[in-house]
């Protein structure tokens, strides 16, 4: 018999759309969901999609109407958007407040009824029934308001996140900080969510507390009520002072969090370069410095918050003590009825006071976050692009001056990157742009795209645009998905594009052809393959009129570049307006219809190749033949067989691991163990502190009853005075302990989060690239360092303190009621406990699963955001903003669907816990009535007043436990990374500890070396053997994907060998620990990686070099003049080096290499983004400074390696040829000769 298919709820209507009002109000539609969760593990398919009215698009339409209708105030617009829901919640809170006020009055009437010889107009059972009914109705109204609030808060978060994402699509790339955006999406939106959930408790105390003191004044005297109210306000004012000081820290704290997230994102984005340079410790130290500052602010903030919370918690007790002293001092007789009526009133005040602190802090945080988001979305947009798509294609700029930053019109720009641009590109023709590094070539392309701020002049761009950036932007999708980019498939045109971009041989090698998933940022493609996929994306755009290509050919060898140029730019794009930036492959200039020569942000000349060749002989003089290539031969198409293991390999990026069941005991112990002390001991100390302080609070309340009873004795004056002193002393001691336990718990959490962050950062930075970073989206990792860490940084302390407070209060209530009414404990507690256990068991089986599902659902959203931020220019150029917006909203709706159910599940539990509490109140009330005559008023009073608190504290204790469990799933997820396997140097036995001077010579040998990137994948290097003598310069060439860069991966042991070994100075590098190995080697990577911060830090993250040394290397790479004008070594590099050109970024990387003084240096296509003249200067610098150093040069431009001692030719992961340039060129049919012929190095 076939197993029953599990029905997916993803395609069924949401119950909020189909359920009856009764089912919606009482959350009965969730009952089957909890039954399901109690029987099996929940999956993503078990949760409904959002209802249509809760989707981001529908909510944005509501918000946009009010945003436009009001002054640009984000919080005001939000409040107006959800005015109806907020008004309904406030109304229900007011009704609850009046019902809550009736409870102490009914308790007073019931105590009067229990007085000996007391007659009452109402029977005891009627009073007990009224008390039970009021309790049940009040909690039901309050819980229903929480249901509305949950949906409201989820919608507010959706609007905030949607607004931030949409704004990012409209801002200039230079204005978008990934750290700020990610922090607003993860932290600020969550704070707004929490703030709106706290709304009812901003209203309830403001109504309940004044009414309470008015009623107390009416019953006990206005002076008693006035002093009690004044004492409450006094304590609240002290708490507010702390809260206000904490609130002022919130903005600084959030800014610091954003800075840490940004730095972490930069580390993750550049992890390969970080590892190959051995910078893990330096980058960790940099992040740790910001983390220490963040935790310092967190400590001050939490101290202020907790002082406010504890102050408001003890405020009713302090107020009651003052009122009792005033009442007795006025000569009044203290009776049990007076005492416990007053206690009942203060217990009603206790929860609003306690939650008022929480509400005020959360609403303040929400306001701060709304202000941050509002400031962000009110920033100036990039400006209209003014593209006329229906007009005849045209690109014209008249007297144009452009800047990356905004300028006031009419002022002379001080930071303009393009000046006095006058150009009109010939339509339907090929224009090429050349010039030295930093001359403004890429900026010119950005100006055409509308990505620069226009300071002066006119810009006219008519026609649709296709764009290829200098740094290839690859989406986490299939190869086909990247090429189509949401365009419909035209099989014939698609085949032509793939052929023109020379991708067919590469697709034949991939496991599933063009359906193969490309990892995040194209990690499983070579640099050349990524460039050709980007070119294919542009060429596929059939309706485009203007094609802007910002030097994508630099990543291709001459062989492939020539074929792509001929088949693609000259073939498919014939008759189109094409603009091509060149920093290499200058032999192609002769095919240009128009050439622009740029220098220092200006076009210094333009014309045909022939007209410019005499005037600019130095710039465009070519070593290659100028003979036109009428039919450039295609790149060789070979497709070696692919093993079955590879063909059947699973997807590159695996689904996120999901733990199953409740949070384990080991997770709690690991969390507390992270404090630096023994986990169980810390937990016991925490529980012991709370148990002792709660016992003292109960003793204080019980002693108050004894004090009241003693007031009726014969010696009441002296006894009452003495007991009053004891009562005040006990109250004061209780207050001290309440403050102390909060500080103790806060310090434990800070110690835990400090060590947890340090541990996971250390593990992540040392995780293997091939088995972790290549298969794990950055968004997933960032989710740990943003959402999960924020959970335990900020939300865990509040939830944990809340849980402990409520848990021990519930325990005290049940103990007090059980001692006061033993029959109740015997007959009622067992069935009560069974029902409580059944309900909570269903919830506790489901809630952790929901938390995990919600966390998993957030990851695609963060991945989509980081991917979008990296590709903003491409997205806007292809007019794909609407498509990306739709994808972002789809990911947002998916994440919010799980969040809503997760939060409504808590409301479901709270409602049922409150109903159980109402039953307990009823049981105590009726038992007291039944026991009239056998129970004294003091005992009944403390039982009734404590039972009345249960409806508030039981649900919140269970909710607090649910909240802690939710946050512990974040700890659980962090601990997954704390258990990551580190790179092999930690786990393998190392047998060599080389001396400080190793390698002394730099002799390098690959011995039958084979390597694969992951298990079940084909070998990328196959039985490679060659030897490089000390001091030799070796050029490495071969077709894209031939294994050139994989040699560098092997040398730096980013991936370990499948077989064979690599030796440096006869030392097997597999026996040397990785920090030592990588610190003794130097690499200039293919993709320049820079970090936000000073130029000094970017040159020398480890801070080992002097200022003089840094200035020396800057002079050597010809950057000193430029940098000196920008602030010298303290010049602030933007995120991803955004304020430097690609060539300048690469020059900084070359300067880094000059600092290290290694005996083995690798240049991985290091000058591909640098123009010929600059390249010659750099080559001369490298030759002078690396003389006698073993140098491996991977190059696409064969002319840059012709002066090598020997040249290594790679082909399909094997050594094809290895000899001197002269000997290789002598082989007429040799592989290198073929490459040289295609590069026009041979006549």
Provide the Cα torsion 860, 866, 870, 873; round to 10°: 80
Same domain assignment for residues 347 and 330? yes
Task: Evaluate if residue 251 carries a pLDDT over 80.
Answer: no
| Span 4-18, pLDDT tens digits | 444 567 778 888 888
The predicted pLDDT at position 466 comes to 93
The predicted pLDDT at position 989 comes to 52
Q: CA 550 → CA 425, 874, 1052, distances in Å?
A: 16, 11, 31
All residues at 6 or more sequence positions from 1187 whose CB lies less than 8 Å from its CB, including other chains:
none
Distance CA 294, CA 349 (A): 35
| Span 344-375, pLDDT tens digits | 888 788 778 877 777 877 888 888 889 889 88
User: Is residue 1126 a part of any domain in this protein?
Assistant: yes
Task: Evaluate if residue 869 carries a pLDDT over 90.
Answer: no
Task: Evaluate if residue 444 carries a pLDDT over 70.
Answer: yes
475-479, 851-855, 899-903, range with the lowest pLDDT: 851-855
Mean pLDDT taken over the chain: 82
* Of the candidates 36, 42, 3, the residue with the CA atom closest to the CA atom of residue 898: 42
Q: CB neighbours (10 Å) of residue 197?
A: 23
Q: Report residue 1209's pLDDT band, with 50, 70 and 90 as the boundaries.
A: very high
The predicted pLDDT at position 356 comes to 77
Same domain assignment for residues 182 and 207? yes
Instruction: Tell me the pairing of strands 602-607 and 594-599.
Output: antiparallel
Same domain assignment for residues 121 and 259? yes
Mean pLDDT of 795-799: 79
Distance CA 1124, CA 49 (A): 56
Please provide the DSSP assignment of 758-789 as one string.
HHHHHHHHTS-IIIIITTS-HHHHHHIIIIIH
* Of the candidates 1239, 1209, 1215, 1242, the residue with the CA atom closest to the CA atom of residue 1228: 1242
Same domain assignment for residues 777 and 826? yes
Please provide the DSSP assignment of 799-831 as one string.
HHHHHHHHHHHHHHHHHHHHHH-HHHHHHTHHH
User: Is residue 288 a part of any domain in this protein?
Assistant: yes
State percent of the chain over pLDDT 90: 21
Q: Which of 558, 589, 618 lies at the terminal end of a domain, its last residue?
A: 618
**Residue 92 three-state SS:** helix
Task: Evaluate if residue 299 carries a pLDDT over 90.
Answer: no
Distance CA 505, CA 508 (A): 5
The predicted pLDDT at position 573 comes to 92
User: Is residue 385 a part of any domain in this protein?
Assistant: no
DSSP single-letter state for residue 1128:
G
The predicted pLDDT at position 655 comes to 54
Is cis: bond before 931, omega within 30 of 0? no
Total number of domains in the chain: 4
Q: Which of 963, 978, 993 lies at the terminal end of a domain, its last residue?
A: 978
All residues at 6 or more sequence positions from 1236 whose CB lies less than 8 Å from its CB, including other chains:
1198, 1225, 1242
User: Is residue 39 a part of any domain in this protein?
Assistant: no
| Span 664-695, pLDDT tens digits | 788 888 888 888 788 788 888 888 888 888 88
146-160, 361-375, 614-628, 1140-1154, range with the lowest pLDDT: 614-628
* Helix or strand (DSSP H, E) at 237: helix 222-269
Same domain assignment for residues 1142 and 1193? no
Task: Evaluate if residue 657 carries a pLDDT over 80.
Answer: no
Compute CA 159 distance to the chain's CA centroid, rounded to the nearest angstrom.
18
All residues at 6 or more sequence positions from 681 whose CB lies less than 8 Å from its CB, including other chains:
none
Task: Evaluate if residue 2 carries a pLDDT over 80.
Answer: no
Q: Which two tokens stand for residue 736?
A: 């001290």
The predicted pLDDT at position 285 comes to 92
Q: Convert 543-566 to b/e letters by CB count within 10 Å (16 or more is b).
A: ebbbbbbbbbbbbbbbbbbbbbbb
Q: CB neighbours (10 Å) of residue 116?
A: 8
Same domain assignment for residues 591 and 703? no
Task: Evaluate if residue 650 carries a pLDDT over 50.
Answer: no
The predicted pLDDT at position 149 comes to 92
| Span 728-759, pLDDT tens digits | 788 788 888 888 888 888 888 888 888 989 98
All residues at 6 or more sequence positions from 1198 whose CB lies less than 8 Å from its CB, including other chains:
557, 558, 1037, 1235, 1236, 1239, 1241
Distance CA 672, CA 1198 (A): 60
The predicted pLDDT at position 1021 comes to 92
**Residue 1186 three-state SS:** coil
Distance CA 77, CA 159 (A): 11
Same domain assignment for residues 670 and 797? yes
User: Is residue 30 a part of any domain in this protein?
Assistant: no
User: Is residue 702 a part of any domain in this protein?
Assistant: yes
SS (H, E, C) 924-974: HHHHHHHCECCECHHHHHHHHHHHHHHHHHHHHHHHHHHHHHHHHHHHHHH
User: Is residue 10 a part of any domain in this protein?
Assistant: no
Same domain assignment for residues 873 and 946? yes
Same domain assignment for residues 187 and 307? yes
Mean pLDDT of 1071-1096: 87
The predicted pLDDT at position 938 comes to 80
Distance CA 219, CA 105 (A): 10
Instruction: Tell me the pairing of strands 1190-1194 and 1033-1038.
Output: parallel
Same domain assignment for residues 834 and 884? yes
Q: CB neighbours (10 Å) of residue 366?
A: 27
Cβ atoms 113, 120 nearer than 8 A: yes
The predicted pLDDT at position 245 comes to 75
Cβ atoms 956, 802 nearer than 8 A: yes
Task: Evaluate if residue 130 carries a pLDDT over 90.
Answer: yes
Query: What's the sign of the alpha-carbon dihedral 438, 442, 447, 453?
Result: negative
Task: Evaluate if residue 608 carries a pLDDT over 90.
Answer: no
- Which ranges in 200-221 belong to alpha helices (H)? 200-220
Q: Which two tokens stand for residue 852?
A: 């995990």
How many CA atoms lie less than 13 Å away from 474 in the CB half-sphere? 24
The predicted pLDDT at position 656 comes to 54
Distance CA 558, CA 623 (A): 14
The predicted pLDDT at position 717 comes to 55
Cβ atoms 712, 115 nearer than 8 A: no
Q: Which of 914, 944, 978 lies at the terminal end of a domain, its last residue?
A: 978
Task: Evaluate if residue 1 carries a pLDDT over 50.
Answer: no
* Of the candidates 781, 791, 778, the residue with the CA atom closest to the CA atom of residue 752: 791
Distance CA 1132, CA 405 (A): 15
CATH number of the domain to which 914 belongs: 1.20.1560.10
Q: Convert 707-731 to b/e letters by CB count within 10 Å (16 or more is b).
A: bbbbbeeeeeeebbeebbeebeebb
Task: Evaluate if residue 716 carries a pLDDT over 50.
Answer: yes
CATH number of the domain to which 1148 belongs: 3.40.50.300
Instruction: Tell me the pairing of strands 394-403 and 1214-1219.
Output: unpaired
Cβ atoms 207, 283 nearer than 8 A: no
Distance CA 40, CA 36 (A): 6
| Span 167-195, pLDDT tens digits | 888 887 666 677 788 888 888 898 899 89
Same domain assignment for residues 1019 and 926? no
pTM score of the predicted model: 0.72
Distance CA 1009, CA 1025 (A): 6
Query: What's the sign of the alpha-carbon dihedral 1035, 1039, 1042, 1044?
Result: positive
Rounded CA Rg of the chain: 36
Mean pLDDT of 992-998: 76
Strand partners, 418: 402
The predicted pLDDT at position 4 comes to 42
Q: Which two tokens stand for residue 1125?
A: 């004008």
Check residues 409 and 1171 and name the one with the higher pLDDT.
Answer: 1171
Cβ atoms 83, 929 nearer than 8 A: no
Cβ atoms 967, 789 nearer than 8 A: no
Distance CA 367, CA 372 (A): 9
Distance CA 1124, CA 1147 (A): 15
Give the burial class of 842: count Cβ atoms within 10 A of its Cβ; 0-12 exposed, 13-18 middle, 19 or more buried.
buried
| Span 189-230, pLDDT tens digits | 988 998 998 888 888 888 888 888 898 888 888 998 899 989
Distance CA 575, CA 133 (A): 83
| Span 1131-1160, pLDDT tens digits | 888 877 777 877 788 888 888 888 888 899
Domain that includes residue 1112, residue range:
1082-1157
Task: Evaluate if residue 616 carries a pLDDT over 70.
Answer: no
Distance CA 173, CA 1138 (A): 8
User: Is residue 7 a part of any domain in this protein?
Assistant: no
Same domain assignment for residues 581 and 679? no
């Amino acid at each position: 018999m076939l197993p029953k298919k599990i029905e997916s709820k993803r395609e069924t209507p949401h119950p909020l759309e189909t359920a009856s009002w009764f089912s919606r109000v009482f959350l009965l539609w969730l009952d089957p969901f909890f039954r399901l969760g109690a029987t099996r593990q929940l999956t993503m398919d078990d949760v409904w999609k959002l209802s249509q009215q809760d989707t981001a698009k529908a909510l944005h339409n509501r918000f946009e109407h009010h945003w436009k209708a009001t002054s640009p105030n984000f919080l005001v617009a939000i409040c107006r958007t959800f005015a109806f829901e907020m008004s309904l919640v406030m109304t229900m809170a007011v009704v609850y407040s009046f019902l809550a006020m009736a409870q102490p009055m009914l308790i007073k009437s019931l105590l009067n009824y229990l007085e000996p010889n007391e007659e009452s107009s109402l029977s005891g059972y009627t009073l007990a029934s009224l008390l039970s009914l009021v309790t049940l109705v009040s909690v039901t109204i309050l819980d229903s308001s929480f249901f509305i609030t949950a949906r409201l808060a989820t919608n507010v978060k959706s609007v905030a996140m949607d607004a931030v994402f949409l704004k990012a699509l409209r801002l200039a790339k230079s204005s978008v900080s990934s750290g700020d955006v990610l922090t607003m999406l993860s932290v600020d939106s969550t704070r707004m969510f929490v703030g709106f959930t706290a709304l009812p408790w901003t209203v309830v105390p403001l109504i309940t507390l004044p009414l309470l003191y008015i009623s107390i004044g009416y019953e006990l005297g206005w002076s008693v009520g006035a002093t009690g109210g004044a004492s409450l306000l006094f304590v609240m004012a002290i708490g507010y002072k702390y809260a206000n000081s904490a609130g002022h820290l919130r903005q600084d704290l959030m800014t610091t969090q954003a800075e840490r997230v940004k730095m972490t994102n930069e580390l993750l984005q550049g992890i390969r370069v970080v590892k190959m340079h051995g910078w893990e410790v330096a980058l960790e130290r940099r992040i740790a410095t910001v983390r220490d500052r963040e935790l310092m602010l967190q400590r001050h903030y939490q101290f202020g918050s907790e002082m406010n919370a504890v102050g408001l918690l003890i405020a009713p007790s302090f107020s009651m003590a003052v009122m009792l002293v005033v009442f007795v001092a006025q000569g009044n007789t203290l009776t049990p009825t007076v005492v416990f009526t007053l206690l009942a009133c203060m217990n009603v005040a206790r929860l609003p006071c306690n939650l008022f602190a929480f509400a005020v802090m959360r609403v303040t945080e929400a306001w701060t976050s709304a202000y941050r988001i509002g400031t962000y979305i009110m920033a100036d947009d990039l400006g209209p692009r003014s593209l006329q798509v229906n007009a005849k294609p045209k690109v014209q700029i008249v007297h144009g001056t452009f800047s990356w930053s905004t300028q006031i019109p009419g002022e002379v720009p001080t930071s303009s990157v393009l000046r006095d641009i006058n150009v009109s590109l010939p339509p339907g023709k090929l224009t090429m742009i050349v010039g030295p590094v930093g001359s403004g070539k890429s900026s010119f392309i950005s100006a055409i795209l509308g990505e620069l701020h226009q300071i002066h002049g006119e810009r006219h761009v008519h026609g649709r645009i296709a764009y290829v950036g200098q740094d290839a932007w690859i989406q986490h999708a299939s190869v086909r998905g990247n090429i189509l980019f949401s365009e419909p498939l035209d099989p014939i045109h698609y085949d032509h594009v793939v052929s023109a971009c020379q991708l067919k041989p590469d697709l034949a090698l991939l496991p599933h052809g063009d359906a193969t998933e490309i990892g995040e940022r194209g990690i499983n493609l070579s640099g050349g393959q990524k460039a050709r996929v980007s070119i294919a994306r542009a060429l596929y755009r059939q309706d485009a009129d203007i094609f802007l290509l910002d030097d994508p050919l630099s990543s291709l060898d001459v062989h492939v570049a020539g074929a792509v140029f001929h088949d693609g730019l000259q073939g498919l794009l014939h008759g189109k307006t094409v603009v091509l930036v060149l920093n290499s492959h200058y032999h192609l200039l002769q095919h240009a219809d128009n050439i622009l020569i740029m220098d220092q942000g200006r076009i210094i000349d333009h014309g045909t190749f022939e007209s410019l060749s005499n005037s600019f002989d130095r710039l465009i003089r070519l070593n290659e033949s100028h003979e036109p290539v009428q039919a450039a031969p295609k790149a060789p198409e070979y497709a070696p067989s692919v093993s079955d293991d590879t063909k059947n390999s699973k997807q590159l990026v695996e689904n996120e691991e999901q733990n199953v069941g409740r949070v384990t005991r080991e997770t709690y112990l690991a969390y507390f163990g992270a404090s630096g002390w023994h986990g169980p001991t810390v937990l016991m100390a925490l529980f012991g502190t709370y148990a002792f302080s709660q016992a003292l609070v109960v003793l204080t309340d019980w002693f108050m009853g004894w004090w009241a009873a003693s007031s009726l004795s014969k010696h009441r004056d002296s006894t009452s005075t003495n007991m009053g002193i004891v009562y005040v002393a006990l109250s004061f001691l209780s207050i001290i302990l309440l403050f102390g336990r909060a500080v103790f718990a806060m310090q434990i959490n800070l110690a835990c989060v400090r060590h947890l962050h340090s541990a996971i950062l250390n593990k992540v930075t040392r995780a293997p690239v091939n088995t972790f970073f290549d298969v794990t989206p950055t968004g997933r990792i960032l989710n740990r360092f943003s959402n999960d860490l924020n959970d335990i940084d900020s939300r865990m302390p509040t939830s944990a303190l809340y849980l402990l407070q409520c848990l021990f209060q519930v325990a005290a209530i049940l103990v007090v009621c059980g001692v006061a009414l033993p029959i109740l404990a015997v007959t009622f507690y067992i069935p009560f406990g069974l029902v409580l256990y059944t309900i909570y068991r269903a919830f506790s089986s489901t809630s952790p699963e929901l938390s995990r599902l919600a966390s998993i659902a957030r990851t695609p959203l963060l991945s989509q955001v980081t991917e979008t931020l990296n590709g903003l220019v491409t997205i806007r150029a292809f007019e794909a903003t609407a498509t990306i917006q739709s994808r972002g909203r789809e990911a947002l709706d998916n994440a919010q669907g799980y969040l809503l159910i997760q939060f409504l599940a808590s409301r479901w539990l709270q409602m049922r816990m409150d109903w159980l509490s109402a039953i307990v109140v009823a049981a105590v009330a009726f038992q007291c009535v039944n026991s009239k005559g056998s129970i004294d008023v003091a005992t009944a009073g403390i039982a009734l007043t404590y039972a009345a608190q249960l409806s508030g504290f039981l649900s919140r204790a269970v909710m607090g436990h649910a909240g802690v469990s939710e946050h512990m799933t974040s700890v659980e997820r962090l601990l997954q990374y704390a258990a990551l396997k580190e790179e092999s140097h930690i786990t393998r036995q190392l047998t060599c500890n080389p001396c400080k001077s190793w390698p002394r010579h730099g002799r390098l040998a690959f011995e039958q070396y084979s390597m694969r990137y992951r298990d079940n994948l084909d070998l990328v290097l196959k039985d490679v053997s060659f030897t490089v003598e000390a001091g030799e310069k070796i050029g490495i060439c071969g077709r894209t994907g031939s294994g050139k860069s994989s040699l560098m991966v092997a040398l730096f042991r980013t991936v370990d060998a499948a077989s064979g070994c690599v030796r440096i100075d006869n030392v097997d590098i597999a026996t040397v620990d990785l920090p030592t190995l990588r610190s003794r080697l130097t690499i200039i990577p293919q993709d320049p990686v820079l970090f936000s911060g000073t130029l000094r830090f970017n040159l020398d993250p480890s801070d080992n070099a002097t200022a003089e040394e840094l200035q020396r290397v800057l002079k050597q790479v010809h950057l000193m003049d430029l940098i000196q004008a920008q602030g010298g070594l303290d010049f602030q590099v933007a995120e991803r080096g955004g304020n430097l050109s690609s060539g300048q970024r690469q020059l900084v990387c070359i300067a880094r290499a000059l600092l290290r003084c290694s005996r083995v240096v690798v240049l991985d296509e290091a000058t591909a983004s640098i123009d010929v003249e600059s390249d010659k200067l750099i080559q001369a610098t490298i030759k002078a400074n690396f003389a006698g150093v073993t140098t491996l040069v991977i190059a696409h431009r064969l002319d840059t390696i012709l002066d090598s001692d020997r040249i290594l030719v790679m082909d399909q992961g094997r050594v094809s040829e290895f000899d001197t340039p002269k000997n290789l060129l002598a082989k007429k049919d040799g592989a290198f000769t073929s490459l040289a012929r295609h590069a026009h190095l041979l006549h």
